[in-house]
Structure formats: structure tokens, C-alpha cells
């Protein structure tokens, strides 16, 4: 384990079948096109300002509820602490 890794964080993993359940916990859902939306139907944006679908969702980061996609660029930014 790298020395810089913080192990005090709670990490919850889930499979794609539980995505709707997890989104509901955060008071989110999906629209007809699969995009994650707020209860007022506004689409959720990634830290880069991009609308995100439930299929793209990889991480929900604590704080301001940062919804992060599972693409390599986003995950590298997360690992570097840039998100």
C-alpha cells in the first residue's frame, strides 16, 4: 500500500445492478436518456462540467457530492487529488 494512501475513508462498492439504489440514497435518479439527475430534473455534472450517465458513474466523492466517471482521465485526476 502506498504511504500516501488514506485508509480512514469509507469505501462502498456496488455492482451496476445497485446503481439506482445508490443514486436514490443521494436523492438522485436518472432521466429517460440515462443521465443522472437531481430531484428537480437538473442533470448532474462531473467536476469537469460534463453531464454523466449512470453507466459512466464510477465514484461519488464525499464533500459536494462529486460524481466522477470511470474514464482513465477522470480516475487519474482523482488519484492525483485534482478532483
For each of the chain's 83 residues, which pLDDT tens digit applies? 344 545 456 667 777 888 999 899 889 999 999 999 999 999 999 988 999 999 998 888 776 778 888 888 888 888 888 87
Q: Report the first-to-last Cα separation within the chain, whole angstroms.
A: 21
Residue 54's closest CA among 78, 83, 24, 75?
A: 24
pTM: 0.70
Task: Give the torsion sign (CA, 54, 74, 1, 7).
Answer: negative
Amino acid at each position: 500500500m502506498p504511504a500516501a494512501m488514506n485508509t480512514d475513508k469509507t469505501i462502498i462498492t456496488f455492482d451496476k445492478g445497485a446503481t439506482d439504489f445508490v443514486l436514490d440514497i443521494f436523492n438522485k435518479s436518472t432521466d429517460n436518456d440515462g443521465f443522472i439527475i437531481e430531484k428537480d430534473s437538473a442533470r448532474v455534472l462531473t467536476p469537469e462540467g460534463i453531464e454523466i450517465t449512470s453507466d459512466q458513474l464510477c465514484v461519488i466523492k464525499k464533500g459536494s457530492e462529486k460524481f466522477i466517471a470511470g474514464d482513465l482521465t477522470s480516475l487519474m485526476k482523482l488519484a492525483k487529488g485534482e478532483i
